[in-house]
Structure 1
Amino acid sequence: MKKAVFWKCMIVLFVALSLSSAISCFMISRILMENTEEHMQYVLSFWDASLDMDKDLQEQVEALPQVVNNEKARFTIIGLDGTVYADSEVEDISRMYDHSDRIEVQEALEGENGVAVRKSDTLDISMLYVTHYSKNHQLILRVAIPFIGLGVYVKLLLPSILVSFIISTLVAISLAARFAKTVALPLKEISREIQKIQEASPKFDYKEYPYPELNIIAETTANMSKEIQSAIQKLEKEKTIRQEFFSNASHELKTPLTSVRGYIELMESGIVTDEAQKEEFFKRIKKETENMTHLINDILMVSRLETKEAEVVFSEVRMYPLLQDVLTSFETMAKNMNITIKIDCKPVCIYANLHQIQELLNNLIGNAIKYNHPGGMVKIKMEEYQKKLYISVADTGVGIPKESLDRIFERFYRVDKGRNKKIGGTGLGLSIVKHIVQFYNGEIQVKSVVGKGSVFEVWLPINRE
């Protein structure tokens, strides 16, 4: 890359130097030509002042090249009607044509200093003509010198231009090499830092560079590296959660299947003959199959909420009647544990799926009752707040340890595995709650003190966008 930057800089500089040299050459040549024209006008003014009309004009004209020290200069005296009276290069004036149509003559007649470049019909060479209108003698005085174009000045300037060009090129090479180095070196350093991403915990050390664009690259790569590391950590965490999920799911399904198989084998062996005991075994088998059904349904619900594959029917859900239905299903459990339930529910509706909201309330209220102390209390509050449905379920139960608060929404995570086995459940309740809240782009918070109870707060948008 350093070579590429160097050569591209050299090409740009070479083109710039070439153009500047050409423009400078043209401008200097033009200035020199203008100086030549001014000098010729000065000669004509001098000639006008020294011209003696009483003497032979031809002799005076022929002497002028020596006077001005330029043997190549040609002097001509022309009348106002275009007649040539004298010419330093032509002895026989009679063979010279009428000059009234010459551009420089016409410009002089108009009161201006005439200038023209053309091929001389008499000498058959290209000449630069400059004319002057003599008011004293009512004549047009003309001087001409051989002129082959601006190239004559270019030849004079070429050596100095070449020297300047070579010096400028050497300076340009030095500057291009330094510039290429200042660009390539930071990019190499940035590349080295990027390679650190392969390390387990990379620490990036980007310098402050003189070019803002390179600093942007360094900043961007650092941010991207952080994002990639974060994504990798997230993938690793998800991998661990997946492994735990399959392990827990297998265990949760294996336990009831083992119980069912044990009851069936006992009855097949003929050991159990009492009909009452057989009926008890059938009830237990039915209960275990119901537990498996609940577990599989919960797993499917979590999966659908995560992938958002299932078609969800939305409708206006009135929260107070739905809360009454949910509490009715927990009435027996609450009475058995002597749990007092207090309700503070304002009339509020939410545009959502009835089954999902019912499942959310079932899990929050069910946990508040199951993990409460006998004679405890559950407080339920619902209201509309800033165009959101606010749900609060507080209990006076066992509480959740601080170190477990970050994990309670994981699938199959249990704070107290021994207690959970006695209480029952699939271990997916709070995971379902979290996925439902996320499905509606809502929020959920937990506050808990061990031995004093927990408070679950949920915010869901009233209207689905």
Structure 2
Amino acid sequence: MLTIRKKYGILLGFIFVLSVISLNLIMDKFFDKSFKDLVAQDMKEIYNISFKNLDDYLALNSIEKDSLKEEDFDSKIMKFIVERVNAQGVFYDIEGEVISTGLTNSSVVDLNIFKDLPLSFYETKNNKTMLDIENKNGTILGKLSIPIYSSNNPLGVLVLIKDYTSDYLRDLNIKKLLNIIVTSLFSLIFLAIYIFSSGITKPIIVLKNKLLEVSKGSYPEKINNTSKDEVGILVNSFNEMTEKLKAKDQQEKNFYRNITHELKTPLTNISGYAQILNEDDFNDVDFKRNALNRIISESNRMHDLVMSLLNISKQSSDLEEYSFEMVKIKNIVQELIEIRNPIIQNKSLNIITKFEIEEITGNKQYLKMLFNNLIDNGIKYSYENTTVEIQIKEVDRICEFSITTTGKTIPIEFKEKIFEPFVRVEEKGFSSKESSGLGLYICKNIVIGHKGEITLDLNKDKSKFIVKLPKD
């Protein structure tokens, strides 16, 4: 399997080779054009000087240009033509036979160059001056073929030849040097890009391996991350995700362990009393009555526990699909208070309500369950002859519901844990044994489903539960 790093390396290698080849082709074309332009410009100057020399020679020797003959182009006139241009000259008849030559330095000239006609020689018959650049065994020659006429009759072709090998080699060395510099620079750039990309792909590879561990059910250690770019954000998100999954997994294990414990206790009690009652010689009427009451009590406790678990299960499936509507929370709270009026009167509680808003957007069923649990707990754990204050107000488009009670003290260490499942306060002066330990956990889930938050403020024997929900 090709990894990201290998794919990136192959892609970079392909781009590198393609870039170098393309650059070399561009440089070749550039230097070829530059060299041809140099030869063309130089040959143009040679052409101008040579024809001026020809005119001077004809004037000095009183020869009319229109009366030139083929035999006039002897070695003397040829030498005179080329002596100031640092070039060699050769005059061919129209059939390509050498008539005469003009040498500026015969000791360094390979006379074989005169044997080969220029490539464009025969095109000069159309009265065209042609330039050829030829490579003869490593020697670069510029050949300018000029048709010569007398009285509109072709006499032959004057070919001016110059050696440009030194210029060509100079350009070639410059091109090679530039190729080395550019290739080295490209190599460094692509090496830097590859190293940089490896730095990006390395955490991705680590992340892939860690994800494989998570998919197998294990939770790896956090990935060390010093990057602040998108990959760094991805790594941080992964670390946060694994921590949350680990915590949730542990929470679920504790949850099911607690369920087992909570179900086992009443079942054990029911089974024990049932076995005693089933004995043939059992005739204790008082014990029988107490046992039956205990069986009913434990059955009710199991029923409440099962109903709470069903609510939690339903909440889990409904959490992302709550159907929202306008809910008159003032009416719901007033109704819940009225239902508990006998308990309120029995404990001589003073209920104070303050409603600044009457309705919000939410799920009516779950909001009623939320307020029911909070109001029920508030009344249940309040001291007699105390005040219960229930308030609903709006703060920055947020609906804030609060219930403040004076009663059994909740230890400060339970302030955050009290919203976890199966957490019950068993302290001196406070007992919640009759509770399933799931009520506030259900409340928290309902609040989360409404994208809100629930908190608890403690001040000695005063407790204040605060629920903040989006109003719209």
Compute the TM-score of the two structures, normalised by the length of structure 1: 0.72
Question: 1:156-305 residue pairs with structure 2 within 5 A?
Answer: 157-172=167-182, 174-186=184-196, 200=221, 203-204=224-225, 219-269=229-279, 273=283, 278-305=288-315
Residues 204-251 of structure 1: per-residue CA shift (max 9 Å, x gap): 456xxxxxxxxxxx7344333332222222122112111111111112
Mark the CA change 1:402 to 1:51 in structure 2 (over 3 Å): closer, same or farther: farther
Residues 146-204 of structure 1: per-residue CA shift (max 9 Å, x gap): 489xxx98866543344334434444554455445534445566677778877735544
User: 2:469, 2:155 → 1: CA distance?
Assistant: 101
Shift of 1:16: 1.0
Counterpart of 1:459? 468
**How many residue pairs were aligned?**
409
SS in structure 1 of the partner of residue 372 of structure 2: helix
Shift of 1:412: 0.9
SS in structure 2 of the partner of residue 226 of structure 1: helix
User: 2:440, 2:163 → 1: CA distance?
Assistant: 94
Shift of 1:399: 4.2
Shift of 1:342: 1.1
- Identity over the aligned pairs, expressed in percent? 20
36-45 vs 161-170, which moves further:
161-170
Does 2:369 match 1:359? Answer: yes
Query: Could you tell me whether the CA contact under 8 Å between 2:145 and 2:159 is conserved in 1?
Result: no
Query: Could you tell me whether the CA contact under 8 Å between 2:130 and 2:145 is conserved in 1?
Result: no
Compute the TM-score of the two structures, normalised by the length of structure 2: 0.71
Shift of 1:346: 3.6
Shift of 1:361: 0.8
The unaligned stretches of length 5 or more in structure 1 are 77-87, 91-115, 133-137, 207-217
Shift of 1:444: 2.1
User: 1:315, 1:179 → 2: CA distance?
Assistant: 61
User: 2:433, 2:345 → 1: CA distance?
Assistant: 16
The unaligned stretches of length 5 or more in structure 2 are 1-5, 83-87, 101-119, 132-143, 211-219
Question: 1:302-321 residue pairs with structure 2 within 5 A?
Answer: 302-308=312-318, 314-321=324-331
SS in structure 2 of the partner of residue 119 of structure 1: helix
User: 1:252, 1:234 → 2: CA distance?
Assistant: 26
Shift of 1:22: 2.6
Counterpart of 1:82? none
Mark the CA change 1:139 to 1:48 in structure 2 (over 3 Å): closer, same or farther: farther
Shift of 1:428: 0.8
Counterpart of 1:13? 20
The residue type paired with residue 120 of structure 1 is: T
SS in structure 2 of the partner of residue 390 of structure 1: strand
The residue type paired with residue 300 of structure 1 is: L
Residues 337-382 of structure 1: per-residue CA shift (max 9 Å, x gap): 3332211124512333332111111111122223333333211001
Query: Could you tell me whether the CA contact under 8 Å between 1:126 and 1:146 is conserved in 2?
Result: no
Which of these residues, 396, 405, 423, is aligned with residue 395 of structure 1?
A: 405
Question: 1:406-445 residue pairs with structure 2 within 5 A?
Answer: 406-416=416-426, 424-445=434-455
User: What RMSD over aligned residues (CA atoms) do the two structures have, in Å?
Assistant: 4.4
Which of these residues, 79, 101, 113, is aligned with residue 66 of structure 1?
A: 79
Does 2:56 match 1:38? Answer: no
Query: Could you tell me whether the CA contact under 8 Å between 1:389 and 1:460 is conserved in 2?
Result: yes
Query: Could you tell me whether the CA contact under 8 Å between 1:389 and 1:459 is conserved in 2?
Result: yes
User: 1:308, 1:370 → 2: CA distance?
Assistant: 29
Question: 1:133-148 residue pairs with structure 2 within 5 A?
Answer: 145-146=158-159
User: 2:458, 2:186 → 1: CA distance?
Assistant: 67
Counterpart of 2:124? 120
The residue type paired with residue 392 of structure 2 is: M
Shift of 1:458: 1.5
Residues 27-65 of structure 1: per-residue CA shift (max 9 Å, x gap): 221232132123313433454566549645445862642
SS in structure 2 of the partner of residue 373 of structure 1: coil
Mark the CA change 1:454 to 1:67 in structure 2 (over 3 Å): closer, same or farther: same
Counterpart of 1:99? none
Residues 309-361 of structure 1: per-residue CA shift (max 9 Å, x gap): 79766544322221122112323333343332211124512333332111111
